Structures are given as structure tokens and as C-alpha cells.
Amino acid sequence: MSDTPLASVLFVCVHNAGRSQMAAGFLTHLAGDRIEVRSAGSVPGDRVNSSAVEAMKEVGVDISAAEPRILTTEAVQASDYVITMGCGDACPVFPGKQYLDWALEDPAGKGVEAVRPIRDQIRTRIEALIAEIDGRQAATP
């Protein structure tokens, strides 16, 4: 097997503190180094949402060391998939990328009980994304 990742995925939300961090955590956890993972925000927060960290820890994924990052043109250009989550007009669109917009509730200001269903929706979408990427790889001669 090649050392080159099958694909590169960038998750983007406004603060890069909840949804995009949970998505990046799940993709890294479930796909390992087979898929390159990035996350960023159009207006990054100061830290990752503590309820998101706790909710992810419950399912064995540690995102406590993650830090919100600013969205850059370079990150978008280096990614095969750009997945936006509730950014609205704040998230830029660049041509030539596989764009997906995941309408997910914002976990900001919510307790872990309210974040769990968001976390579970993200995991389901991540599993489908991995299957899609694996399927494209299998279809390539």
C-alpha cells in the first residue's frame, strides 16, 4: 500500500471549535493516515468547545489537544474534499473541489447532553464519507 493518502479532507465551520473538530477527530480515528485531515474556521474561537471534547472522549476519541485554526486559501487548495458546516456566506467556495455542506446544529453554548446527538450525526456522515473515498479508490484501476 502506498504512503500517499487516498484523499485530503478539510472540515470548515465558523469557529473551528465544535463540529469541524469532532468531524476531524472521527475521520482521523476511523481512517488513520489513509486520509489526510484538516479543519479550520472562518472566525476561529479561542479553544475547542469543552462539551465537544467531553462528548468525543465518551466514544474513545480524544480531541483535547486540538486548536482552532484560521481558514486559509492554501488549506482549501490542498484538499480534495471541503466539507462546510453551518458557515453560511462566511465560508468561501473555490472551484474544482468536492464540496459538501453538512447542515448540523451548532454545539456552541450547549452541554454535553445536547452535543451527543450532533456527535452521532457527524460519525454517521464520516463513516459514509470514508466509504465513498474507499469506493472511489477501489474503482480506480
- Reply yes or no on whether 87 is catalytic: yes
Place of cell 448540523: 104
13 catalytically annotated: yes
Active-site option among 10, 12, 13, 14: 13
Q: What are phi and psi of 9, to 5 degrees?
A: -125, 135
Grid cell of 115 as nine digits: 452535543
Task: Pick the catalytic residue from 22, 61, 83, 87.
Answer: 87
DSSP 50-62: HHHHHHHHHTT--
Number of neighbouring beta carbons within 10 Å of residue 132? 14
63/48 Cα distance (integer angstroms):
8
From 35, 91, 129, 133, the catalytic residue: 91
Positions marked catalytic: 13, 87, 91
